Amino acid sequence: MKASKLDEILKKTEQEIALNHKEVLSLLSITSQDELNRVTLVARKLRERYFQNKVFLYGFAYFSTYCRNDCTFCLYRKSNKSVPRYRKNCAEIMSTAHGLVDSGVHLVDLTMGEDPQYHNSKHGFRDLVQMVRDLKQETSTPIMISPGLISPEVLWEFREAGADWYACYQETHNPTLYSRLRIEQSYDERMKSKSAAKEMGYLIEEGLLAGVGDSTEDIADSILMMKKMGADQVRVMTFVPQDNTPLADWGTNSHFRELLIIAVMRLVMPDRLIPATLDVDGLKGLDKRLNSGANVITSIIPPSSGMAGVSQSSLDIGDGNRTVEKIIPVLRLNNLEPATQGEYQTWIKSRQAFLTNLEREGVKCG
């Protein structure tokens, strides 16, 4: 890109003037490290404008790796018979969640595959809903649920029990690519579930998977769709090929693109939460993601929990590198600090109040 054109786009973002599709596409087409450095510098400035030097920390409890779906990118797809699986009971999940809270996380993310034990039974989620209620009453800690696609009725039960966030990743907003990734799963139903959750008062996390057949235009479309739908947290992860899956031989991806996407997300949505995941490169990849404008660290997993990651099922878990204790020194090397629990809860309340005011005024999210 010509330097003058990049200057023009970056000036607009610093002034928080909305970028059009062509400008987002131009940013995502950057290939040089110097240009990336210029983009990430502005991304960090915008992060500081809204969040100062504070970063939020998310604990991760992947409590069931059983799944009824056959996603081509996922290690735990139902047809992969070679992978060991587990299903934690409510007491085990609660123990892990309490340990995460005690370690200093700001949120507990309760994640599962679309486990038939829960999804294929009329009252399958009853115990989990009660567990969320108990966890909220005992800790007052914000809770994210990531149960896959669930009915509006169950979604509402979790909301009434105290869940604050609903994560249900589309992975791509290209329906054709989606159909190749999420086999025999409805694109529209997955999108509708997030709209329904938003109407119930949930905050929404949307996510995309990069390097799995997506074009630069697909990524631009996804970023603008995330903004349009009013996602409160927006995530990107680089695809990691999984053994014994259709994409096992896909090849590894450069993480340059993920860093660029994080930065462009920050430029397009400066006030949103954007994660730096530990699930792709572990602790060693945290620094670059923070420098790209991320302000949330996700996939914090206690070494003694017996729970796995998603993209990298065991990376950095057993040796304790996915813990708050190991993360804080990396934050401080980047002149960042973990927020207090009060600061995170204040952000949640202010975001919810902002969205309520928009709804009263009849303004579409974005």
- Binding site members for (3R)-3-methyl-D-ornithine: 109, 146, 169, 235, 298-299
Tell me if 229 sits within 8 A of 194, measured CB to CB: yes
Q: Which residues are annotated as a binding site?
A: 67, 71, 73-74, 109, 146, 169, 171, 182, 190, 235, 298-299
Cα–Cα separations (whole angstroms), residue 127 to 28, 117, 155, 246 = 44, 12, 14, 34
Say how far apart CA 42 and CA 47 lie, in whole Å: 9
Contacts of 280 (CB under 8 A, 6+ apart): 237, 238, 240, 255, 258, 311, 312
Where are the alpha helices (H) located in 163-316, listed in sequence order? 175-181, 187-199, 216-229, 256-268, 286-291
Cα torsion through 326, 61, 178, 174, rounded to 10:
-50
The dihedrals phi and psi of 206, each to the nearest 5 degrees, come to: -115, 150
The pair of three-digit structure tokens given for residue 49, joined into one six-digit string: 């404008």
Q: What is the 3-state secondary structure (H, E, C) of 150-202?
A: CCHHHHHHHHHHCCCEEECCCECCCHHHHHHHCCCCCHHHHHHHHHHHHHCCC
Q: Which residues are annotated as a binding site for [4Fe-4S] cluster?
A: 67, 71, 74
Q: Which residues are annotated as a binding site for S-adenosyl-L-methionine?
A: 73, 171, 182, 190
Residue the block writes with tokens 């329906």: 175
256-268 helix and 3-14 helix, angle to the nearest 10 degrees: 50
Q: Which long-range contacts (CB under 8 A, 24 or more apart) does 135-139 make?
A: 135/94, 135/97, 135/98, 135/108, 135/162, 136/161, 136/162, 136/163, 137/162, 138/98, 139/97, 139/98, 139/101, 139/108
Residue the block writes with tokens 């600090």: 337
Tell me if 16 sits within 8 A of 45, measured CB to CB: no
216-229 helix and 21-28 helix, angle to the nearest 10 degrees: 130
- Amino acid found at 156: W
**How many CA atoms lie within 13 Å of 74's alpha carbon, on the beta-carbon side?**
22
Tell me if 248 sits within 8 A of 239, measured CB to CB: no
